[in-house]
């Protein structure tokens, strides 16, 4: 799974490289789109499972490219919330198109039924891993 995941990300990197997107940049944009504009930097860092300094560098780059804006929270002035600019929203659409093309090519020769079964297996594995992490077995002690 890890090998396929790395290859998949490499294929996306290759496809979106012509858009000037590094993996860090496109991952941040796509995750922000997923969790929603107005999210805090901390929420995005948690979603990406990265440390704030790493995220801050990438956000600085995206802000310099005028793809995102940081705005102070109306409820807590210490917190920055993240918003797309018009150019950022356009970039999201371009990324989605490129990623969809990569996904289509990766799925070649795999039926919808196979993909559904695989997704169910992955979801079951994810549930099991989350349970294991939440309740470590006595063997770990």
* Domain range enclosing 79: 2-108
pLDDT of residue 140: 60
114 inside domain: no
**Confidence class of residue 139 from pLDDT cuts 50, 70 and 90?**
low
8-69-42-22 Cα dihedral, nearest 10 degrees:
20
Give the CATH number of the domain where residue 57 resides: 1.10.10.10
pLDDT digits (tens, 9 = 90+) for 5-61: 999 999 999 999 999 899 999 999 999 999 999 999 999 999 998 999 999 999 999
Looking at the structure of the chain, the number of domains it has is 1
133 inside domain: no
Task: Decide if pLDDT at 135 tops 90.
Answer: no
60 inside domain: yes
69 inside domain: yes
21 inside domain: yes
Query: What mean pLDDT, rounded, does the chain reach?
Result: 93
What predicted TM-score, i.e. pTM, was given to this entire model? 0.82
> How many angstroms separate the CA atoms of 88 and 101, rounded?
20
């Amino acid at each position: 799974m890890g090998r396929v995941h790395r290859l998949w990300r490499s294929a996306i990197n290759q496809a979106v490289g012509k858009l000037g997107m590094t993996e860090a940049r496109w991952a941040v944009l796509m995750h922000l789109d997923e969790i929603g504009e107005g999210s805090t930097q901390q929420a995005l860092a948690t979603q990406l499972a990265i440390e704030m300094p790493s995220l801050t560098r990438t956000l600085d780059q995206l802000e310099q490219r005028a793809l995102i804006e940081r705005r102070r929270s109306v409820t807590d002035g210490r917190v920055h919330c993240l918003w797309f600019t018009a150019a950022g929203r356009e970039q999201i659409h371009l990324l989605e198109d490129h990623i969809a093309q990569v996904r289509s090519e990766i799925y070649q020769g795999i039926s919808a039924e196979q993909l559904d079964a695989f997704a169910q297996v992955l979801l079951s594995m994810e549930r099991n891993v989350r349970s294991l992490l939440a309740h470590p077995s006595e063997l770990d002690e």
